[in-house]
Amino acid sequence: MLKQFISTLLVLTLLVGCSPSNPIEKPLSAVVDESLAFAAQQSLLMAESLKDQPDRLPKTLRENGELETCNSAWWTSGFFPGQLWYLYENNPSEELKEWAINYTLRVEDQKYTTDNHDVGFMIFCSFGNAYRLTGDSIYRDVIHTASNSLITRFNPTIGCIRSWDPAPWSSKWQYPVIIDNMMNLEMLMWAGKQFNETTFVQVAETHADTTIKNHFRDDFSSYHVISYDTITGQVEKKNTAQGYSDDSAWARGQGWGLYGYTMMYRESGNEAYLKQAEGIADFILNHPNLPADKIPYWDFNAPNIPDALRDASAGALICSALIELSQYVPEEKGKEYLSVAETQIRSLSSPAYLANLGENGNFILKHSVGHMPAGSEVDVPLTYADYYYVEALMRMKKMLPAIKKP
């Protein structure tokens, strides 16, 4: 019943609105500013709540409503520090800066990580934003070390960075590469330019090229996991571990691809990456199962649509990517992408998804889905949903002056 109520509420508010205070009706600039102000308040409460646990970072909520944290080794560890840096960029207060530094340093030891591909998430979301906003070479050096760590996972025969090492749960794959891995390439592209190390760029571009070749279907939807034969380098399996089925379009996976190829075009200027990003965007935006509020179901092919759970993390990720992609395409298509992104921001900033101050474990957004098939992190807040929501708000705020008014 709750899922049905949320879906009904969202459609009604989009179609008819309810009051002048409704984010559906407010000027977009007001929605963005108010949402960023709320995000800062909520994030400061989160930061304070873990001040006496210097090795912990927010992850999600448990079923009993208690905060679940992680150490620096968990793949999501860099998101909360990065979120704080974005909020500091919006409102450069000393309090936000001190907490951003505090939580960023909690992740520093991951610069030596070579046993998974997530070092890009961990380090570039945190230290990347820290260096961007402060120019402190200490942060830059950490990114350099982390980039050298990440490329140790590249196999030139296959042409990809390995995502998961052998483990009981991953034993069915010889050499698994997941679509999420596209997100870790941004650190390599950036570092290649900063340190004049062409190897970083070559690894990133080769990985991106191989992923275009093997991860995508003709309609630009993507598998989650592609596994390669370690001897021949050829594809051995095509699967979707966190989605509904191997042939379905797992929503967050489509978002990883959209964001990843938009970023690769920005960093390389390669038109093939822009074409890929546009194809993915068009698949998402034209899908008959994309809801009116533009926040996707956890899988575009979930069997119980329209009663399937939404994934706010996928919505925030797609929103952030669309805002950037809108700058690289012809004007009319750019307007289309921005229009969808605006709807997503208004939806995520509404009571259907936005938490109340001090509630929701001090996470910003409600209703994300981590790993539905495993029954893990289902219909809960997730730290990366908050990160991409705040990033999307910041990107939209910077775009607003250039958006033509009717």
Q: Which of 118, 299, 311, 386 is catalytic?
A: 118
Instruction: Answer yes or no: is 252 a known binding residue.
Output: yes
Question: How many domains is the chain built from?
Answer: 1
Determine the Cα–Cα distance for residues 50 and 63; give it in Å rounded to an integer: 20
Catalytic residue flag (residue 246):
no
Residue 33 assigned ligand-binding role: no
In sequence order, which residues have a C-beta less than 8 Å from that of residue 158 and are 6 or more positions away?
A: 175, 177, 210, 228, 230, 233
pLDDT at 404: 57
Taking alpha carbons only, the member of 328, 311, 313 closest to residue 265 is: 328
Judge whether 255 lies within some domain.
Answer: yes
- In the block, which residue shows the tokens 């775009």? 399
Q: Which of 180, 293, 311, 379 is catalytic?
A: 180
Task: Confirm whether 268 is domain-assigned.
Answer: yes
| 406, part of any domain | no
| Residue 199 is assigned to a ligand binding site | no
Q: What is the pLDDT along the chain (406 residues), one digit of tens a residue?
A: 434 434 433 443 333 333 335 687 799 999 999 999 999 999 999 999 999 999 999 999 999 999 999 999 999 999 999 999 999 999 999 999 999 999 999 999 999 999 999 999 999 999 999 999 999 999 999 999 999 999 999 999 999 999 999 888 899 999 999 999 999 999 999 999 999 999 999 999 999 999 999 999 999 999 999 999 999 999 999 999 999 999 999 999 999 999 999 999 999 999 999 999 999 999 999 999 999 999 999 999 999 999 999 999 999 999 999 999 999 999 999 999 999 999 999 999 999 999 999 999 999 999 999 999 999 999 999 999 999 999 999 999 999 998 855 4
User: Considering just the CA atoms, what is the radius of gyration of the chain in Å?
Assistant: 20
Was 75 annotated as part of a binding site? no
115 part of the active site: no
Which of 276, 291, 289 lies closest to 325, judged by CA?
Answer: 276
Q: Does residue 115 sit within a domain?
A: yes
Residue 7: its pLDDT value, please?
44
Full domain range(s) for residue 179: 37-399
The verdict on residue 28 lying in a domain is: no
Residue 240 in marked binding region: yes
Specify if 355 maps to a domain: yes
Could you tell me which of 222, 255, 204 has the C-alpha nearest to residue 392?
255
The contacts of residue 138 (CB under 8 Å, 6+ apart) are none
Establish if 29 belongs to a structural domain.
Answer: no
6 assigned to some structural domain: no
What CATH number has the domain bearing residue 176?
1.50.10.10
